[in-house]
Amino acid sequence: MEQKEFGYPKFDDSGEMILSTYDNEYSDMLMDTRVYRIPAGETRTFGRAGEECAVLLFNGEVTFEFEGQSEKVFRKDIWTDGPYCVHVCGGKEIVVKTGTDAEVYVQYTHNDQEFAGKLYRPEDCPWKFSGINKYGNVAKRRVNTIIDLDINPKSNFVLGEIMNDRGNWCGYLPHRHPQPELYFFRFDRPEGFGASFLDDNVYKSVDYSFSAIAGEKLHPQALAPGYQMYIVWAIRHLPGNPWLQTDRNVDERYLWLDDATF
C-alpha cells in the first residue's frame, strides 16, 4: 500500500476517528492512533494484548479505571488545562467512564515489556517554553512531555503536547530524526489553519488533521496569525535506536540562525 504523509480524517457514526494503523496508508508510523468522541454516561474500554496503550483526555469529565485504580478527572479543554493521560502495558485495560461529553486520543504500539500503569497529571507534565527571543521571536511555543524514554524506559513510544503562539513557527529550526513521528493538529477556531512541511512537500494543516512524518524527513510547521495551534506529538522508538530529547538533528543549512539577531 502506498504510504501517505498527511491525513484529513473524519469521525464515523460511532464517534471514532482513525489516524494511523499498522496496515493503512500511514503504517510507517508503527503506531495505531485514534480519536474518540464519547457521549456523557457511556463507558469505553481500551487495551490490547502485546500492545502498550495511552489514553489522553482532550476535554470533559471522565473516570479512568485501570489496574485496580479509579480516578475521576476533568479537563475543561486543551487550551485551558494541562493533560491527563493513562498509560498501561500490553494485556491491561483502561476503562473510560464519561460524566460529561468527552474526547480522547488513544495511542497503541507493539510492546511485550511489562510496567506498572500510571495516570499522568498536569503537574507531571509541565509546559516548557522554547523559541523565546530567537529567530525574530516568531518561533515561540510551549511543549510538555507525557511519556518518553527518561519517564518510562520500558515504553516504545513518546507522547506529548505542543501549544503554538499565534502566527508563529513550530518545530523550528527545520530538523529530522530517524524515528517516525505523528502530529495531530487542533485549532482554537474551526477555520484556523497552518502549513506543514515535509521535506519539499507542503500541506495545509487544519482542525483535526494530522501529519505522518516518516523517518529522516524535515518537518517544520507554520501557523497563521490570529490562531492558536495545539499538537499531539507522538514518536515511535526504533529497535536499538530510541528517540531522545537531545535528538534534534537540525539541517545544517539553518544552523546560522542560532546566532543571528534581527
The domain spans of the chain are 6-259
Band the pLDDT of 246: cuts 50, 70, 90.
confident
Q: Closest by alpha carbon to 220, among 193, 200, 191, 234?
A: 200
Band the pLDDT of 248: cuts 50, 70, 90.
confident
Average pLDDT over residues 160-182: 96
Average pLDDT over residues 235-239: 98
244 phi, psi to nearest 5 deg: -120, 155
Average pLDDT over residues 36-56: 98
Q: What is the pLDDT of residue 58?
A: 98
What class is the 6-259 domain? mainly beta
Q: Is 80 exceeded by the pLDDT of residue 217?
A: yes
Q: Is 90 exceeded by the pLDDT of residue 245?
A: no
Band the pLDDT of 206: cuts 50, 70, 90.
very high
- Reported in sequence order, the residue ranges of 25-131 that DSSP labels E, i.e. its strands, are 32-38, 43-46, 51-66, 69-75, 84-88, 94-98, 102-110, 118-120, 128-130
Average pLDDT over residues 18-26: 98
Q: Is 80 exceeded by the pLDDT of residue 247?
A: no
At 123 the three-state DSSP class reads: helix
R_g of the chain, CA atoms, integer Å? 18
Contact 168, 139 (CB under 8 A): yes
Q: What is the pLDDT of residue 19?
A: 98
Tell me the C-alpha distance between 34 and 158, whole Å: 16
